[in-house]
Amino acid sequence: MLDITKISELTDLNVLYVEDDNETREELVLVLQGWFSNLYVAADGQEGLNLYQQYKPDIIISDIQMPKMNGLSMSADIKHINPNQEIIILSAYNDVEYLFRALELGIKHYITKPISIERLLDKLVEINQQMQLEGEVKRNRKLLEQYKLLVDEKAIVAKIDLQGRICYVNRQFCSISGYSEEELLGQHYLFTFSGNPQEPILETLKNSVLKDRKWQGMLKKTSKSGDIFIVDATVVAIVNEDDQIEEFVALMVDMTEVYEKFERLSLNLQQDLESQQHYFKEYERAIELGTSLCVLDTDGNIISANHNFSASLNCQTDELLGQSFSDMVLDCSDFKQRVLSKIKEQGFCSNVIRVGTKPDSERTLSMVFVGIHDETGEIHSLMSLSQDISEAVSLNAEIIETQKELIYVMGEVVENHSEETGLHIKRVAQISELLAEKYGLSYEHAKMIKIASPMHDIGKVGIPDEILHKPGKLTRSEFQTMQKHAALGFKMLNRMDKPLIRMAATIAHEHHEYYNGKGYPLGLCGEEIAIEARIVALVDVFDALGSKRSYKQPWNDEQIIDYLIAKKGVQFDPVLVDLFLKNLDQILDIRNHLLDKNQSC
């Protein structure tokens, strides 16, 4: 069902449509003109490239095979100009090699011909929403840069290399210390510290930042003029991609005036000050991780929240006070017990959780909970610091769904090329997932097998039609040619370094191997064959035997079961055959639910 509200948002988009077929182009232009205020139309790739350079449209819709310059050549030139350009490829079922080239160019939107107007509209709405999200990310990145500038302007910042030498200071550091940047750079970090009594603190700082990667505390330093100033310092180790420390960053706040006031009051308020200072340090330790803050009592009720936290939940702070945070957590029924247990065990608890305070207001937060202790060591409250990662999670999910959709599109291309129904790959996918779970594979592993299995016969696009569609039995030479589809499929898929595609490559390569080692193309035996390929091999044969093909009529269930039993330990993994037969009722339910109307088993 098309969402009229979302469609109306397409009005302001600029769109370039490239199609060489006059009839197709004229029909689609009549529809597209009603959607966009600016629609540019080209009859070939060269004309499309010229229009792109002139108008810089938001979205390009292009056919692949065209005279002068095809759609992929045009897209390559456009991607060279703008790598982030959104392009929708209109492809026929025989365009599989072009689809791989499109994938290498970073094009992730495909629609097969004949074109479904509803699907095209859905794709345009999806791209528009993604562009809006990316625009929001850019705006947020710009804000982050400005926040960084603000920190650099207001805080005292220094960087220290692995030899303990100062390698960067900001203007505020120079101002409070009285030294110029040239005088500070290259100096050892100890040179501005005042008095021997600080040696134990400095030793603790060094050990803590090397072991725990951070340290926080008060430091006494000497300016160039000899004056003493006090800073509240947080020192953090910066690590590289191999988790090796590269340098240290110190972020300091001038606490001289506050410290002097504390000293003047210490004679009369020593006991009270010690208690308050204890909680002050506890809160400081938690706050160093972020600025979106919420404090809970030990029953999980919110007793304090800052503006950033309440804004992330689309609430006013007053609305949150007294509310049970545990009731807001959507995906963990024993949230309070788990958090308290972790804090008692290791002092903190980090989680990625889904939170919702109102209908349709769900957000995904990355949260760190820290226990705030009283003077006796008992947990007094829980402080949480959070970051809203909803957009990143959503974007990642969209990318995964795009990969899944591409795999099904390519699987259907193969099935149509070999005159098999698209429902065949759906049956193989769902039954393979069920069998993987019954075998004991994890939920995630079984789900990947379901997604990758439609590509098992991708290599058949390289087999001549006269062999692929031959109604009778293949000759020895023809069968040898047919066997090449396993290696062809592996070669096509193995070029991509993605876990899902690598699994699909393995399934395509090994799903005709026999458990007794007499299969092809490698002659693998037993567990040398990947479990994914063993599962898909069994399910593929089961569904193929029960399906009508150009060279045979469908077998009945008794014939199929007899065949599977006869091939147990020969062609198929005996454990999988036993599991298959044990769960036959569920498997037949899946098959019958997805059964083609024009065939029976």
98-112, 323-337, 386-400, 500-514 — which one is most confidently predicted on average?
A: 500-514
pLDDT attached to residue 473: 83
Residue 273 maps to a domain: no
Nearest to 305 by CA among 322, 293, 315, 288: 293
Bond prior to 67 in cis (omega within 30° of 0): no
Percent of the chain with pLDDT over 90: 22
| Contact of 407 with 500, CB cutoff 8 Å | yes
Q: Of 269 and 99, which is predicted with more confidence? A: 99
Q: Of 122 and 265, which is predicted with more confidence? A: 122
Rounded Cα distance between 241 and 563, Å, is 53
Residue 281 has pLDDT above 80, yes or no: no
| Contact of 591 with 543, CB cutoff 8 Å | yes
Is 220 strand, coil or helix?
strand
87-101, 127-141, 146-160 — which one is most confidently predicted on average?
A: 127-141
Residue whose pair of structure tokens reads 């060269």 in the numeric block: 46
**Least confident piece of the model among 87-91, 521-525, 527-531:** 87-91
Average pLDDT, the chain: 81
pLDDT attached to residue 292: 77
- Tens of pLDDT, residue by residue over 393-436, are 665 555 556 555 555 555 555 555 444 456 788 899 999 999 99
Residue type, 28: L
Residue 578 maps to a domain: yes
- Tens of pLDDT, residue by residue over 373-382, are 887 888 888 8
Looking at the fold, whether 330 and 433 belong to one and the same domain comes out as: no
Looking at the fold, whether 578 and 493 belong to one and the same domain comes out as: yes
Q: Of 197 and 216, which is predicted with more confidence? A: 216
Average pLDDT over residues 239-259: 84
Helix residue ranges per DSSP H, 324-367: 325-328, 335-346
Residue 518 maps to a domain: yes
Structure tokens at 163: 């030899």
- Give the CATH number of the domain where residue 88 resides: 3.40.50.2300
Looking at the fold, whether 71 and 162 belong to one and the same domain comes out as: no
Confidence of residue 449 (pLDDT cuts 50, 70, 90): very high
- Tens of pLDDT, residue by residue over 158-207, are 888 888 899 988 888 888 889 998 988 988 877 667 665 667 777 788 88
Looking at the fold, whether 588 and 474 belong to one and the same domain comes out as: yes
Structure tokens at 192: 């501005």
Residue 529 has pLDDT above 90, yes or no: yes
Residue 269 maps to a domain: no
Q: For residue 352, what are the β-bridge partners? A: 366
Of 105, 120, 145, the last residue of a domain is 145
Of 254, 274, 301, the last residue of a domain is 254
Q: What is the DSSP letter of 57?
A: -
89-103, 324-338, 466-480 — which one is most confidently predicted on average?
A: 466-480
Structure tokens at 185: 């750079």
Q: How is the beta sheet containing 166-169 ordered, strand by strand?
A: 166-169, 156-160, 245-254, 228-239, 214-222
Looking at the fold, whether 453 and 578 belong to one and the same domain comes out as: yes
The total domain count for the chain is: 4
First to last CA, the chain: 34
Q: Which helix (H) or strand (E) holds 133?
A: helix 117-154
Query: What are the CB-based long-range contacts (under 8 Å, 24+) for 205-212?
Result: 205/235, 209/235, 209/236, 209/237, 209/248, 210/237, 210/245
pLDDT attached to residue 404: 58
pLDDT attached to residue 209: 81
Q: For residue 168, what are the β-bridge partners? A: 159
Structure tokens at 128: 């528009």
Confidence of residue 47 (pLDDT cuts 50, 70, 90): very high
Percent of the chain with pLDDT over 70: 82
Residue 154 has pLDDT above 70, yes or no: no
Of 145, 175, 206, the last residue of a domain is 145
Structure tokens at 499: 């876990």
Q: What is the DSSP letter of 105?
A: T
Nearest to 539 by CA among 413, 445, 429: 429
Looking at the fold, whether 131 and 228 belong to one and the same domain comes out as: no
pLDDT attached to residue 438: 93
Residue 270 has pLDDT above 80, yes or no: no
pTM: 0.40
Residue 221 maps to a domain: yes
Is 332 strand, coil or helix?
coil
Structure tokens at 14: 């600029």
Rounded Cα distance between 562 and 103, Å, is 43
Looking at the fold, whether 496 and 376 belong to one and the same domain comes out as: no
DSSP string, 283-311: HHHHHTT-S-EEEE-TTSBEEEE-HHHHH
Residue 441 maps to a domain: yes
Looking at the fold, whether 9 and 126 belong to one and the same domain comes out as: yes
Looking at the fold, whether 174 and 248 belong to one and the same domain comes out as: yes
- Tens of pLDDT, residue by residue over 3-38, are 666 777 788 889 999 999 898 888 888 888 878 878
pLDDT attached to residue 152: 62
Is 230 strand, coil or helix?
strand
What's 356-423 look like in SS3? CCCCCCCEEEEEEEEEEECCCCCEEEEEEEEEECHHHHHHHHHHHHHHHHHHHHHHHHHHHHCCCCHH
Region for 526 from its dihedrals, namely left if φ exceeds 0, alpha if ψ lies in -120 to 50, beta otherwise = left
- Give the CATH number of the domain where residue 173 resides: 3.30.450.20
- Tens of pLDDT, residue by residue over 540-579, are 999 989 887 766 788 999 999 999 999 999 999 999 999 9
Looking at the fold, whether 57 and 71 belong to one and the same domain comes out as: yes
Looking at the fold, whether 39 and 135 belong to one and the same domain comes out as: yes
Confidence of residue 598 (pLDDT cuts 50, 70, 90): very low
Rounded Cα distance between 323 and 84, Å, is 44
Q: Which helix (H) or strand (E) holds 231?
A: strand 228-239
Domain that holds residue 41: 4-145
Is 245 strand, coil or helix?
strand
Q: What is the DSSP letter of 43?
A: S
Query: What are the CB-based long-range contacts (under 8 Å, 24+) for 244-250?
Result: 245/162, 245/210, 245/213, 246/162, 247/159, 247/160, 247/161, 247/162, 247/167, 248/159, 248/160, 248/161, 248/209, 249/157, 249/158, 249/159, 249/160, 250/157, 250/158, 250/159, 250/160
Q: Of 1 and 76, which is predicted with more confidence? A: 76
Residue 275 maps to a domain: no
Confidence of residue 262 (pLDDT cuts 50, 70, 90): low
- Tens of pLDDT, residue by residue over 81-120, are 999 899 998 877 566 677 778 888 888 888 888 888 888 8
Confidence of residue 601 (pLDDT cuts 50, 70, 90): very low
Residue 540 maps to a domain: yes
Looking at the fold, whether 408 and 311 belong to one and the same domain comes out as: no
Q: Of 465 and 60, which is predicted with more confidence? A: 60
Average pLDDT over residues 486-496: 84
Residue whose pair of structure tokens reads 């008794």 in the numeric block: 558
